Amino acid sequence: MAGIKALVALSFSGAIGLTFLLLGCGLQQYGVYWPLFVLIFYVLSPVPTFISKRLSDDSDSASNACRELAYFFTTGIVVSAFGLPLIMARTDLIQWGACGLVMAGNAVIFSTILGFFLVFGSGDDFSWEQW
């Protein structure tokens, strides 16, 4: 039952994050849909971790090179997702209010992705591997 509650909470927070992103694009005073390119980063951010979990052995060593490289790539993707709206706002492609809404959406979505890996990443009764 705890897995169902966690899944509902993650779904709700993901919907809130996407609402912030869509408000940054669709409100009448902003009216441009350039910030939707951030969706690419949402899709790409868990990919290195999925590949790392598939390729590396589950040894309990302090450091695993494959896992550390996946964390490095994931960090680069997340930083790029926060940097893209700033670059767009700085070049007057979008307004600063839209940039703020997209940044709030980024924070919520990436915390949702982190929460997913924390809840479903451990190998107990429920995990993301069964999906």
Q: What is the pLDDT of residue 61?
A: 63
The whole domain housing 30 covers 2-130
Question: In angstroms, rounded to a whole number, what is the distance separating the alpha carbons of residues 77 and 106?
Answer: 12
Q: Is the pLDDT of residue 74 over 90?
A: yes
Q: Which residue has the higher pLDDT, 129 or 119?
A: 119
* Average pLDDT value over all residues in the chain: 88
pLDDT at position 54: 84
Q: What's residue 15's pLDDT?
A: 96
Share of the chain above pLDDT 70, in %: 86
Per-residue pLDDT tens digits for 77-97:
999 999 999 999 999 999 999
Whole-number Å distance between alpha carbons of 131 and 127: 8
Phi, psi of 74 (to 5 degrees): -65, -40
Taking CA atoms, 90 is separated from 3, 86, 93, 105, in Å, by 42, 6, 8, 19
Confidence of residue 57 (pLDDT cuts 50, 70, 90): low
| pLDDT value of position 1 | 67
Tell me which H or E stretch contains 126. Answer: none
Total number of domains in the chain:
1
Indicate whether this model's pTM tops 0.75.
yes
Q: Which amino acid makes up residue 16? A: I
